[in-house]
A and B are shown apart, each in its own frame.
Chain A
């Protein structure tokens, strides 16, 4: 067990994890997931929000098994290596708001950091603009961390409290299975099933998905590996800026290389800016959206993937961040802040400005005096 722990903590471990995620994401696209969206934590949580009826964008509604697998895979790893620790109480409402605006920003860009990397690996030039925004946002967060920003310590709590998020994910899995492979439960329950959740897109990205068992299996493995190696896209950028520490960055680089090579082999690499799948070319808002997300992730201590893995190992504060993201997704589509391939939504730019203002206030006011 200790040899395994050593491997996961090593450079080889993080590189293997990044490679695995990159290859799997590209393969999931081949098997049915939307283009350059083999894995996108923000998009997939948004699809879940839609499936539950929290927004009415009919093209992005599906209970994505990848999200479920990430949390449960991390749970299995945490239990196997005795790292499951129920904890919470570090500024939960702040984390909720940070999750909310992280999602608002991600949906202006159309993707979380994972998807930004996958878009890059698929040849989407707009991803470069988004990643520049992400680096800028994390950079601002690093300045706050340097000047004493902290959301304070969490506390140990009841073991059952740490299980809540995994149980939510099991419930979502049952809802998904009940309305897909096991039949259509809701049509047995409601006289007018179309009016009631869960909703599943009939066209658009929400209707595109890889076979459930493959998505779930791949996500369980990713959740397991990422829990062990602490894989985090935001953390990679942050650690380089804050401490000149490259460890996590090797994982990110490996992800891009893995996805690029796989895309190339599968004929999924299409370089360019215009007409890229589920993307737009409004550079200012591609930059601004990801800058907002990057800042929110840095202030909350993890990218959306990492927050899912933490929630699987008992971190209630990370779970609250995830809930903030899901609510943010509902808001973004209900209030026209989310972009579409045609460009930013009506209130997209305003929501980015408002989100940045809120994050700056959080950064400036929540600093511990040395």
Chain B
């Protein structure tokens, strides 16, 4: 069961900062981050990739589900 982080409606840096805390805590595994802006999608993706996590993005109804795995 993947861990989840709902960051919809929140503006940066919160989505990135919370994601960073979460993946550092997890170390590895799968994390689903829900965001609803292109900025958050890009920032969270950039952060996760810089930490060596794989990111896959699914868009639905103006919202994005980012699946981070490592």
Contacts and interface: CB of A to CB of B under 8 A. Distances in A.
Secondary structure call for the B interface: helix
Interface in A203-258: 230, 235, 238-239, 242-243, 245, 247
A301 B13 CA distance: 7
Nearest to A247: B46
Given A85-B62, A243-B16, A247-B46, A154 B9 contact: yes
Given A85-B62, A154-B9, A301-B11, A230 B39 contact: yes
Nearest to A229: B42
Contact of A239 (B9, B13, B62): B13
A96 B24 CA distance: 35
Given A85-B36, A90-B9, A145-B13, A243 B42 contact: no
Contact of B47 (A85, A153, A245): A245
Interface residues of B, number: 20
B26 interface: no
Given A230-B39, A243-B17, A90 B47 contact: no
Contacts of A235: 12-13
Contacts of A239: 13
Interface string B13-24: 110110010000
Interface string A144-175: 01000010111110000000000000000000
B17 A242 contact: yes
B9 A243 contact: no
Contact of B9 (A87, A145, A242, A245): A87
Nearest to A8: B42
A315 B46 CA distance: 23
A137 B21 CA distance: 23
Given A9-B46, A85-B62, A153-B8, A243 B13 contact: yes
Contacts of B11: 90, 154, 301-302, 315, 317
Interface string B30-47: 000000111100110011
A165 B50 CA distance: 36
A81 interface: yes
Contacts of A156: 36, 62
Contacts of B12: 230, 235, 301
A301 B43 CA distance: 14
Contacts of B17: 145, 242-243
Interface in A1-22: 9
Contacts of A9: 42, 46
B27 to A, nearest CB: 18
Contacts of A153: 8-10
Interface string A286-302: 00000000000000011
B13 A83 contact: no
A83 to B, nearest CB: 4
A154 B47 CA distance: 23
Contacts of B38: 81, 83
A87 B8 CA distance: 11
Nearest to B59: A82
Interface in A83-131: 83, 85, 87, 90
B57 to A, nearest CB: 11
10 contacts: A83-B38, A85-B36, A85-B37, A150-B10, A154-B9, A230-B42, A235-B12, A238-B13, A243-B13, A301-B12
Given A145-B13, A153-B9, 10 more contacts: A9-B42, A87-B9, A152-B9, A154-B9, A154-B10, A154-B11, A230-B12, A243-B16, A301-B11, A317-B11
Closest 3 CB pairs of A and B: A153-B9, A83-B38, A154-B9
